[in-house]
């Protein structure tokens, strides 16, 4: 707090100073591109890569078919073969998975209990290097129990995958390869990022595994192969921007291959090859993705087709928070006499509790932004004069970049 979008601050600063604002991206966010195609921004396009390099050849692996054929590895057979060929040629590979840790969650196979952080109501992630369960929201770390805390059985098992597990499997499948991993766990020390990138840039490693840290901006001429594992992870985040985030990450990660004189290859592994974000990222077709995504946004009334305001309410007492959220919604409906607003909620967001603080969220939609701003101003006054809201923290976010 205060929360702001850097792009909007830059726009205002350029207005105040008369400066020229240049926004550059291979994968612009939908809102910025919409402003460009509707004439609010000037659109300039670079049609070719620098240094005369060509875009990589992209292959999509349907992991459902791999599973049917008996391959239970995180690596599809086409990617395994491509990595072996790359190692033989002395060229480098980058493997992208947007999830750190060893396993996504730990569960009891007898009763089905998933081990969760009591402060955040989200599942712990198993980190093999520390032999511990870690909450990625509050940072709490606990040892792995030997028996299930719910039923007392010994059938504790690890499910899902993260970058640590991918590193282990990479070393098993390709024992001759030198492997580096770059994620939040390996870059916590001083100069952690720079050290890993320097080693890889000097050719001291054959394979670099990482989260989105490795997906953007890096230019290694000897990287000719990129493997995108579990490409559809970000499609399942429960937000209207999920497809946009997925398309951006895949396209950015794919862009690391073939940046020098050598041609590049990209393997996208997915369980949803028919999804438009996957299809258009494989075709490296931003305009096609924009058109399909805007059709969806217009149909559902999401930005930039319409405007959205998220009202996030946080409090230590769950029942009191629920009551406050109920009253705030009722007040919002009373002041919307012309019924311009669509009010959704209150509901628990994707993570309903963080650090022992409960959360509720209201969403307000409208074709124009002025009624939302007017509702926000009236809601603020209502909150200020009602003592029941004194223990509740409330945050307004117009056209939010992240849905809570």
Of 59-63, 95-99, 157-161, give the lowest mean pLDDT range. 157-161
Q: Residue 216 gets which letter from DSSP? A: S
- Closest of 186, 334, 206 to residue 196, by C-alpha: 186
Question: Per DSSP, which regions of 183-323 are E strands?
Answer: 207-210, 223-228, 265-270, 307-315
**With 80 as the cut, is the pLDDT of residue 131 above it?**
no
SS3 305: coil
Question: What per-residue confidence (pLDDT) applies to 146?
Answer: 83
Of 130-144, 171-185, 206-220, give the lowest mean pLDDT range. 130-144
Split at pLDDT 50, 70, 90, the class of 259 is confident
**CB neighbours of 131 closer than 8 A, spacing ≥ 6?**
143, 144
Q: What is the pTM of this model?
A: 0.83
Question: What per-residue confidence (pLDDT) applies to 343?
Answer: 92
For 169-180, what is the mean pLDDT? 94
In the sheet that 179-182 helps form, which strands lie side by side, from edge to edge?
A: 57-62, 265-270, 223-228, 92-96, 207-210, 179-182
């Amino acid at each position: 707090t205060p929360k702001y979008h850097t792009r909007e601050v830059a726009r205002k600063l350029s207005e105040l100073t008369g400066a020229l604002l240049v926004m550059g991206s291979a994968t612009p966010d939908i809102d910025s591109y919409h402003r460009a195609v509707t004439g609010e921004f000037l659109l300039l396009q670079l049609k070719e890569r620098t240094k005369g390099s060509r875009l990589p050849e992209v292959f999509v692996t349907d992991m459902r078919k791999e599973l049917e054929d008996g391959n239970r590895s995180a690596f599809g057979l086409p990617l395994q073969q491509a990595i072996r060929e790359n190692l033989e040629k002395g060229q480098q590979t980058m493997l992208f998975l947007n999830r750190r840790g060893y396993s996504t969650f730990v569960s009891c196979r007898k009763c089905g209990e998933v081990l969760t952080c009591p402060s955040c109501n989200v599942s712990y992630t198993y980190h093999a290097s520390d032999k511990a369960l870690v909450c990625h929201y509050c940072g709490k770390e606990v040892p792995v129990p030997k028996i299930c805390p719910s039923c007392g059985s010994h059938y504790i098992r690890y499910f899902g995958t993260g970058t640590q597990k991918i590193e282990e499997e990479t070393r098993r499948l390709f024992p001759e390869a030198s492997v580096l991993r770059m994620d939040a766990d390996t870059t916590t020390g001083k100069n952690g990022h720079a050290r890993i990138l320097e080693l890889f840039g000097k050719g001291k490693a054959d394979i670099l595994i990482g989260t989105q840290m490795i997906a953007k901006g890096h230019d290694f001429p000897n990287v000719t192969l990129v493997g995108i594992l579990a490409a559809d992870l970000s499609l399942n985040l429960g937000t209207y921007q999920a497809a946009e985030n997925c398309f951006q990450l895949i396209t950015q990660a794919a862009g690391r291959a073939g940046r020098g004189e050598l041609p590049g290859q990209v393997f996208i592994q997915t369980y949803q090859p028919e999804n438009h974000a996957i299809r258009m990222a494989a075709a490296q077709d931003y305009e096609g993705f924009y058109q399909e995504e805007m059709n969806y946004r217009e149909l559902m009334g999401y930005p930039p087709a319409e405007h959205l305001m998220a009202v996030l309410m946080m409090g230590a007492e769950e029942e009191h928070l629920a009551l406050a959220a109920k009253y705030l919604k009722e007040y919002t409906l009373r002041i919307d006499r012309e019924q311009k607003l669509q009010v959704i909620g209150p509901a628990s967001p994707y993570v309903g509790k963080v650090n022992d603080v409960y959360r509720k969220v209201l969403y307000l939609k409208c074709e124009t932004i002025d009624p939302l701003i007017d509702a926000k101003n009236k809601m603020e006054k209502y909150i200020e004069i009602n003592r029941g809201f004194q223990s509740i923290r409330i945050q307004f976010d117009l056209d939010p970049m992240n849905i809570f």
